[in-house]
Structure formats: structure tokens, C-alpha cells
Amino acid sequence: MTTDKQSEAPPRRAEPAHDRSEARRLVVHKSDGQFHTAVNPSDISELIGERGTFLWLDLQNPQDQGVELLREEFEFHPLSIEDATRHHERPKLEAFEKYYFLVFYCIGYDKSRERLFDQPINLFIGANYIVSVHHDPIGSIDETLRRWQANAAEFGSDAGALLYNLLDTIVDDYFPVIDQLAERVEDIEERIFERFREDALQEVFGLSATRFCTSRMSTTTSFASRIVSTPIAICSPARLTPFCRCNRTGSIKL
């Protein structure tokens, strides 16, 4: 089996997709240090049973065949599969016997409409695999896969450091959004208090819509902290100790 070359990474900002067909990527790292992408999906159940093998399956806009892989090859709980393939699932973390199921959120800012937008990323996290399920492109996944393929030794042989890097990349994208919101608030304050304009009051009401997205930002980072501190044998908490710490409120420090 040959090693496939990495492709150019698209921008990290999630944009609405026009093509609603299923897109599937399967990246397998073997014990010999080689990456493989030309892998038959029907071999997944055997691969995750191999010592020293780690795989990442990324499903965008999953259809019947993708759902079948989740059910037959990974044997995920039917309710987890249902949650991963539906829209607008709330942020949450569930621990199963052999895996975690996490609903995390990417956040962006549409400057032309002056509105926040969010996109869920559903993650199944096992001892030697990660499965990501989402409906539109997420550049943070591409960036994390690229980093992993460029320096596999840095990520070790379990899901811990790889998961941390993915969540860290997503959360990094929160900060430019917060900055843009702060600039907008300052502009509204100026138009209200220094040179009163009635349209600024309408924008104040528009800002209330952002509370839903920002609450998801807080909730998802809190769930991330629970993954690295819950003592079940999927991704070792000790593997993540050098990378992050949790405060008393449960929010993750990245």
C-alpha cells in the first residue's frame, strides 16, 4: 500500500456547501509510520482492532452508505448515530463503553450580514480512532489532518493529542469572532451616545441573536475539558496534561 500525498488545505472558515452529496475521507496511520488513504471502508472494523493502527474517518453530509459505516464498522449506538446525522443538536458529551460522543461547535462571523453563524461538528472518539461527522466543510479538520500527517510522532498513538489539536484549532477561531463583535458593540455605542441614530437601537436588538452562538462557545469548551479529565480508557488524561488544564468552573484552558 502506498502513501498518498497531502493536498492543499482550504481556508479554515466554514462556509455553506452547495454540493449536498456525501464526502468521505479515511486516513489510516499504521505501526510502520506510514499514512494510507486508499483504504477500503469495509476494512475499518479490522483496522481498529490492529495494534499500533490509528484511523480518522471524516464524513461530510453523510448519506445511507456513511451511516451504514457508523453502524456496521464501528458499531456505534443508534442514538449516537441519529444525533450525529441530524441538524441543530445541542452541545453535549456522552460516554459509552468504548467511545465518547461529543457535539462541538465551530463559530464564524458573516461580516456582510453582521451575524454570527455556527456549525456543529460531531465526534466519535475511541481508543485508536476519531470519526468526525458534519454537514458543511470545516477547515479546522483539514488543518489538523495536515499537521498529523506532517508529524505523526508528535501526536502519539492514541486520540488524546490529536483531539486536543482539533479542538484547539476550532477554539482559536473563536477569538477573531469575539474581536469583531467587540468592534461592532463599540460602533453601536458611539452611534447611540455620541451622535444618536435610531437605527443603532435596531442593531442592539440584533445583537441579542448572538447570545445563542456565544452560549454554545462556552458550553462546548466546557465539554472538551470533561473529555480529558474523565477516567475511562479511551484517550489517556496523562497524554493531555502538557497541553491543557481545567479550572474549577470546568472551562478548558487552551
In CATH, what number is assigned to the domain containing residue 165? 3.30.460.20
CA distance to 45, 62, 119, 129, 216, per residue, from 42 (Å): 7, 16, 29, 15, 35
Cell of 1: 500500500
- Asked whether the CA dihedral 116, 19, 130, 152 is positive or negative, the reply is negative
Asked, for residue 35, whether it belongs to a domain, the answer is yes
Q: Cβ(188)–Cβ(203) under 8 Å?
A: yes
Asked, for residue 91, whether it belongs to a domain, the answer is yes
Asked, for residue 112, whether it belongs to a domain, the answer is yes
* C-alpha to C-alpha distance for 115 and 2, rounded to whole angstroms: 45
Task: With CA atoms as reference, report the closest residue to 136 among 28, 39, 7, 12.
Answer: 12
* C-alpha to C-alpha distance for 104 and 223, rounded to whole angstroms: 8
Q: What is the structure's pLDDT at 237?
A: 39
Task: With CA atoms as reference, report the closest residue to 241 among 173, 153, 156, 131.
Answer: 156
Asked, for residue 135, whether it belongs to a domain, the answer is yes
* C-alpha to C-alpha distance for 214 and 37, rounded to whole angstroms: 36
Q: What is the structure's pLDDT at 141?
A: 95
Q: What is the structure's pLDDT at 7?
A: 41
From the first residue on, what is the mean pLDDT of each consecutive set of 10 residues in the chain (254 residues)? 42 48 94 93 94 95 95 96 85 88 85 77 94 94 94 85 89 81 70 59 52 51 49 42 37 33
- Asked whether the CA dihedral 236, 239, 244, 247 is positive or negative, the reply is positive
Q: Which residues pair with 103 in a beta bridge?
A: 92, 122
Cell of 107: 463559530
* C-alpha to C-alpha distance for 83 and 220, rounded to whole angstroms: 16
Give how far the C-alpha of residue 252 lies from the chain's centroid of Cα atoms, to the nearest Å: 15
Long-range contacts of range 212-218, CB-CB < 8 Å, 24 or more positions apart?
213/105, 213/107, 213/116, 213/117, 213/118, 214/116, 216/91, 216/105, 216/107, 216/118, 217/105, 217/107, 217/174, 218/251
Q: What is the structure's pLDDT at 64?
A: 94
Asked, for residue 214, whether it belongs to a domain, the answer is yes
- Indicate the number of domains in the chain: 1
Residue-number span of the structural domain to which 105 is assigned? 23-174+209-253
Q: Cβ(76)–Cβ(99) under 8 Å?
A: yes
Asked, for residue 1, whether it belongs to a domain, the answer is no
Place of cell 484511523: 55
Q: What is the structure's pLDDT at 215?
A: 53
Asked, for residue 192, whether it belongs to a domain, the answer is no
Q: What is the structure's pLDDT at 78?
A: 95
Asked, for residue 142, whether it belongs to a domain, the answer is yes
Number of C-beta neighbours around residue 245 at 10 A: 13
